[in-house]
Amino acid sequence: MTAQKGADGKEVAKHNSRETVNVFLPQQLFLLDTCGSPGELGGVWIVVHGKVYDVTDFLDEHPGGAEIILRYAGMDATEEYEPIHPPDAIIDNLDPSKHLGPLIPSTLPPPPVSADPPPPTSVQVPQKTNAPLAGGELEYVKPPLAEILSLHDFEAVARRTMGKRGWNYYSSGADDEITMRENHNAYHRVWFRPRILRDVGKVDYSSSIFGFKTSMPVYITATALGKLGHPEGEVCLTRAAAEHDVIQMIPTLASCSFDEMVDAAQPGQVQFLQLYVNADRSRTKKIIKHAAERGIKALFITVDAPQLGRREKDMRTKFEGAASSQQAQGGDKFKRDEGAARAISSFIDPSLNWNDLADLKEAAGDMKVVLKGVQCWEDAVRAAEVGMDGIVLSNHGGRQLDFAPSPLTILPQVVSALTSQGHMNNPARPGPKFEVFIDGGVRRATDVLKAIALGATAVGIGRPMIYAMSTFGEDGVSKALQILKDEFEMNMRLLGAPTLSDVVPSMVDISALGNASGSITMYEENYERMLPVGYKAKL
């Protein structure tokens, strides 16, 4: 018998257990002399993207635990692998001797039929008509992209069409989700003071971040696990950012690999990197070094996550997937029974402190270094004093400490403190400008203009972009960015501001900013309240 070039699927199917048994198979196929020795059968092989891998020795090192691999032992695991992992994760993690080569097409037996199929991870949304259902409810029909008029619309569509696991991960906030809602509601307590009879025949909302040009004072901020929303993942954000000349911040915990996102960028496209600091600092420095070599312009170090907050909506959806790119490459272990957020974050170093910043800044070289997650004016001033290039006022989108303040609420006191101590708005102060950014809760260009008037350089937008990606892919992200541009043009005319330099503190009234109160808004319409434990929604 002449062996075909590749792994026979029938042989793959036999390798479906940790146990090794002694057998005699006269005509075993041994691919590249790596599959074992004659007389032995067992171990765990899987197929990913048409290639066979021996993962027996990797079972206990797998970040998602051995269970998820054993579930696909002897079978094609591509469907489970694809949404979370970058394509090269398995190649990077396994010794080359465990790469068993291509699967011979059409030789893998079908998987066994389970008597108790696993519960669906997403709600099957009817896509036919808006005909009444029993009880008078309506079926939901996804609208065409042309009918999307605001960033709120993307969120409304995502809520009704995304899989449960992805929606719960993206939309969840900490504890009672008070801070998550307040991030947005704070913008409703700042009122404009428009100026009239100014020449706004032409308006210019272009800006710069650390001297890098951007078409508007907005950047796509880091959000994790993009493939939970769209099979292409974060490269959709990269390509849309290039089309609209805005900056993308690459997340540490992306589904796509860092290099995939950099490779997807256009020549000259500016990208930043968000960094979670690993307890193994050598791995962190390796990431920083690689980012510098690939041309990343700024490093945003997340400092508000020494431990992940309790995102209960997410925690009620047990994490069925595998790890993020960074965890997969590092072989980290994680708990999978507390939702996606905790599952992907086990490596973050809770001991990170001010004394560590000098080493990180030195490793960053020419990259700008920004602290992401500052939540009071004292820490903002200290960041400037220790030589950081900027800060992001952020509470992690309301996903960490519930009742942390809204970034917009503390922006005026932060800018005041930095200015009074000579770190901002002081032409006589030597050195580069210290820049302040905010993120969280932004849904309109008017939100951004309020932040600019109060001293922010630019605003990061996260959830709306991944909702746009999840519902309409790259075209959705492009539409979201165009909506913002259209809103900027209209609102700057109505505000009486031909350029962003004309958007000054006197154009806003913040007298009610600290007076939190509830209101019914589009955000409230999209906000999904958690169901009581044990409650099952009717499908």
Q: Active-site positions?
A: 276, 304, 396
Give Cα separations from 76 to 52, 103, 253, 267, 322 (angstroms). Answer: 9, 10, 25, 37, 15
Using H for helix, E for strand and C for coil, what is the string for 470-527? HHHHHHHHHHHHHHHHHHHHHHHHHHCCCEHHHCCHHHEECCCCCCCCCCCCHHHHHC
Torsion over CA: 262, 264, 265, 271 (sign): negative
Is there a contact between 343 and 336 (Cβ–Cβ < 8 Å)?
yes
The DSSP output letter for 390 is: E
Q: What is the DSSP letter of 100?
A: E
Give phi and psi for 293, each to the nearest 5: -65, -30
CA atoms within 13 A on the CB side of 484: 32
How are beta strands 458-461 and 218-220 bridged, if at all?
parallel
As a whole number of angstroms, the distance between CA 273 and CA 298 comes to 6
Is there a contact between 363 and 288 (Cβ–Cβ < 8 Å)?
yes
Q: Measuring CA to CA, which residue among 401, 403, 515 is closest to residue 178? A: 403
Cα–Cα distance for residue pair 509/60, rounded to 1 Å: 58
Q: Angle formed by the axes of helices 463-495 and 445-453, to 10°?
A: 70
Token match 């309240």: residue?
529
* C-beta of residue 376 within 8 angstroms of C-beta of residue 154: no
